Chain A
Amino acid sequence: MTITIGLPSKGRMKEDSSAVLARAGFSVVAVGNDRSYRGRVEGRDDIEIAFLSASEISREIANGTVDFGVTGEDLVREGLAEADARVEFCARLGFGHADVVVAVPEIWLDVDTMADLGDVAQDFRARHGRRLTIATKYWRLTQQFFSGNHGIQLYRIVESLGATEGAPASGSADIIVDITSTGSTLTANHLKILSDGVILKSEACLVRARKEEHEGDPVVAEIVQAVRKAL
């Protein structure tokens, strides 16, 4: 059986994932030219590489078209319901660090915890005639964190596919749930992270689709072992 690994198709993530695989003994080369979306591993006919956009990788792992993928934990947990039942996080790769956080306007001096936010959300409709709004592209993670972990139900999500951190200032939402690596964009937009508002500490991971045929497959075991050792 040929094992397919989905890798990010461009940018830092592409370089960093190829570097990890190279250290693990799998030297990735593009088939044809540099821009090609297919690749192979030198000297290995039993491994194929598919270069995909970061957001596609979690979907392709979920439906089993690739066996492994390198992608951010945030994208997998956001993209898939019951992620742990469908995929295995085999290794955390030490790059692509990003925290998914709850951030509110800095000037909300009375709000530094999720409990504070719960209080504000509860009164919001009575005071402002509408629910508290959250700008995010992380629907699933937000819902799980707000209602599952903190019992906060009374809010509305405003989908935001870019420049989320500008939403409170522009008035399109009250607060945001977004990724941040250094926090500098948040600070620049006068936002602060709640003290218990880190939803997920994400980084790039080697993720395996949970497939029955992987059971006892020596190549699958070899890839996992080699990548873990290379870290």
Chain B
Amino acid sequence: MPLVNLPAFAPDLIADLERLGTERVDTPVIQPAEPFLDMAGEDLRRRIFLTESETGKSLCLRPEFTIPVCLRHIETATGTPKRYAYLGEVFRQRREGSNEFYQAGIEDLGEPDVARADARAVRDALTVLKNRLPGVAFSVVLGDQSVFEAVVAACGLPAGWQKRLVHAFGNQAQLQRLMDDLSNPARDGVFGPEVDRLAILGKLDDEATLIAHIDATMEATGYSTNASRSPADIARRLREKMELANTRLDARTLALLREFLALELSLAEAPGALAAFAGKAGLSLGAALARFESRVAALSATGVDPATITYRAAFGRPLDYYTGLVFEIAPAGESLVLAGGGRFDRLLTLLGARERIPAVGFSLWLDRIAGVKGAAA
């Protein structure tokens, strides 16, 4: 019996992935839910199919492949570099479209030449799409969170703000709101009455006094034995917050950030434009810019013309394990994403790998590719 929804071109796609020098892996459809919820957050709960084992363990139907493939890599401990390929069914609650559909892709783990691995991910995704959809023109959009991180750092913003801005990167509305808040901070409700009281008592004057006070209060209220945040954690952050209370994002920096986030141009021109932006603003983007340039060069070297790719400075994914490159490929002139990928250097250590493993990958939406194929035929 044929599998439901498996596109007819699947065997050809598997052959494509094999020709790209990958090792095919499969993972169980039923997965422990914890890693997914831990990595992507509680929001995912509404979008996956959850169930429970007899013993109360939370399980889900595989909602994507990256996490299971990485977990499998960590368990088998077979060393890096590794290029894994997968093709299989994923399950998500969607208002539109089927709840079960196929994805395929490559996870490239442990390649130390980051620029080369990034370029290869974009090229591999394009190669597979071109093979399966001959005659279709594609548009590629590329972003890089590390450039934004470098801009924010070069602006000399306080560390706490840098973290907030980087965290909001990729979520336009949230980032906009945050920049507005930072340039026009709220006056009320920022510090509670207890902080005012302690200020009058002089308990905030130095960190040691503050820590001692918090410790004593925790003891007295019976909270200390189970406290997750220690007195030192709380004192440190309170003092950071007080230092920032009277500062605001100045107009010049705000304008610079806005100008940067509005950048959208051909990737071939992007290194020059970023250098010009940095020069005019008097910012030193040093290493981030160099890495960006070497990725563009690596793309040219693998045969992908950077002039055909759009660089959008504000493009990112608001997940904390995405660290650099992100990209999406759609049919030219359409918004339907056929392939999406990016670099996730933090994921493997978050999942329990002992050493840091650089990683980049992409996945293909087979139902959408089939749709485009059907429309073109």
A interface, CB within 8 angstroms of B? 105-110, 112-113, 115-116, 118-120, 122-125, 127-128, 131, 139-140, 142-143, 146-147, 151, 153-157, 168-171, 174, 190, 192, 195-196
A128 to B234 Cα, complex, angstroms: 13
A109 touches B198 (CB 8 A): yes
Chain B residues whose CB sits within 8 angstroms of the CB of A196 once the complex forms? 189
Q: Which residue of A lies closest to B46 (CB)?
A: A143
B226 touches A171 (CB 8 A): yes
B225 touches A171 (CB 8 A): yes
Assuming the contacts A110-B234, A196-B189, asked whether A143 and B223 have C-beta atoms less than 8 A apart, the reply is no
* B189 CB, min distance to chain A CBs, angstroms: 3
B43 interface residue (CB < 8 Å to A): yes
Chain B residues whose CB sits within 8 angstroms of the CB of A108 once the complex forms? 229, 234
26 residue pairs of the A-B complex, CB under 8 angstroms, read: A107-B218, A109-B198, A110-B237, A112-B190, A112-B192, A113-B190, A115-B181, A118-B167, A119-B163, A120-B237, A122-B164, A131-B38, A143-B43, A147-B43, A151-B167, A151-B171, A151-B178, A153-B318, A155-B41, A155-B42, A156-B42, A157-B42, A168-B223, A169-B226, A174-B228, A190-B221
B160 interface residue (CB < 8 Å to A): yes
Assuming the contacts A109-B238, A155-B41, asked whether A192 and B46 have C-beta atoms less than 8 A apart, the reply is no
B212 interface residue (CB < 8 Å to A): no
Chain B residues whose CB sits within 8 angstroms of the CB of A131 once the complex forms? 38
A109 touches B168 (CB 8 A): no
B191 interface residue (CB < 8 Å to A): yes
Residue B226 contacts which of A106, A153, A156, A170 (CB distance < 8 angstroms)?
Answer: A170
Q: How many A-B residue pairs have CB under 8 A?
A: 111
Other than the given A122-B320, A151-B167, A157-B42, 7 more pairs (CB < 8 A) read: A109-B238, A110-B240, A119-B160, A128-B228, A142-B42, A153-B318, A170-B226
A196 to B37 Cα, complex, angstroms: 26
Q: Which residue of B lies closest to A152 (CB)?
A: B41
A113 touches B189 (CB 8 A): yes
Chain B residues whose CB sits within 8 angstroms of the CB of A110 once the complex forms? 234, 237-238, 240-241
B234 touches A156 (CB 8 A): no
Interface residues of B in 151-187 (CB under 8 A from A): 160, 163-164, 167-168, 171, 174, 177-178, 181, 186
What is the predominant secondary structure among interface residues of chain B facing chain A?
Answer: helix
Residue B237 contacts which of A118, A119, A139, A147 (CB distance < 8 angstroms)?
Answer: A119
* B290 CB, min distance to chain A CBs, angstroms: 27
Chain B residues whose CB sits within 8 angstroms of the CB of A125 once the complex forms? 350
Q: Which residue of B lies closest to A173 (CB)?
A: B228
B217 interface residue (CB < 8 Å to A): yes
B interface, CB within 8 angstroms of A? 37-38, 40-43, 45-46, 160, 163-164, 167-168, 171, 174, 177-178, 181, 186, 188-192, 194-195, 198, 214, 217-218, 221-223, 225-229, 233-235, 237-238, 240-241, 318-320, 350
B221 touches A195 (CB 8 A): no
Assuming the contacts A110-B237, A195-B189, asked whether A143 and B45 have C-beta atoms less than 8 A apart, the reply is yes
Across the A-B interface, the 3 shortest Cβ-Cβ residue pairs = A171-B226, A195-B189, A153-B41
Chain A residues whose CB sits within 8 angstroms of the CB of B228 once the complex forms? 124, 128, 171, 174
B41 touches A106 (CB 8 A): no
Assuming the contacts A151-B168, A171-B226, A195-B188, asked whether A109 and B234 have C-beta atoms less than 8 A apart, the reply is yes
B45 touches A109 (CB 8 A): no
Chain B residues whose CB sits within 8 angstroms of the CB of A155 once the complex forms? 41-42
A109 to B204 Cα, complex, angstroms: 11
Q: Which residue of A lies closest to B204 (CB)?
A: A109
Chain B residues whose CB sits within 8 angstroms of the CB of A118 once the complex forms? 164, 167
A112 touches B40 (CB 8 A): no
A190 touches B43 (CB 8 A): no
Residue B174 contacts which of A112, A128, A151, A192 (CB distance < 8 angstroms)?
Answer: A151
Chain A residues whose CB sits within 8 angstroms of the CB of B225 once the complex forms? 171
Chain A residues whose CB sits within 8 angstroms of the CB of B41 once the complex forms? 147, 153-155
* A12 CB, min distance to chain B CBs, angstroms: 32
A156 to B42 Cα, complex, angstroms: 6
Residue A122 contacts which of B46, B163, B174 (CB distance < 8 angstroms)?
Answer: B163
A105 to B218 Cα, complex, angstroms: 10
Residue A169 contacts which of B163, B186, B222, B350 (CB distance < 8 angstroms)?
Answer: B222
Chain B residues whose CB sits within 8 angstroms of the CB of A195 once the complex forms? 188-190, 192
Chain B residues whose CB sits within 8 angstroms of the CB of A106 once the complex forms? 194, 221
Residue B38 contacts which of A107, A112, A156, A169 (CB distance < 8 angstroms)?
Answer: A156
Chain A residues whose CB sits within 8 angstroms of the CB of B45 once the complex forms? 139, 143, 157
Assuming the contacts A120-B229, A153-B42, A155-B42, asked whether A109 and B318 have C-beta atoms less than 8 A apart, the reply is no
A169 to B227 Cα, complex, angstroms: 7
B226 touches A109 (CB 8 A): no
Residue A143 contacts which of B40, B42, B178, B218 (CB distance < 8 angstroms)?
Answer: B42
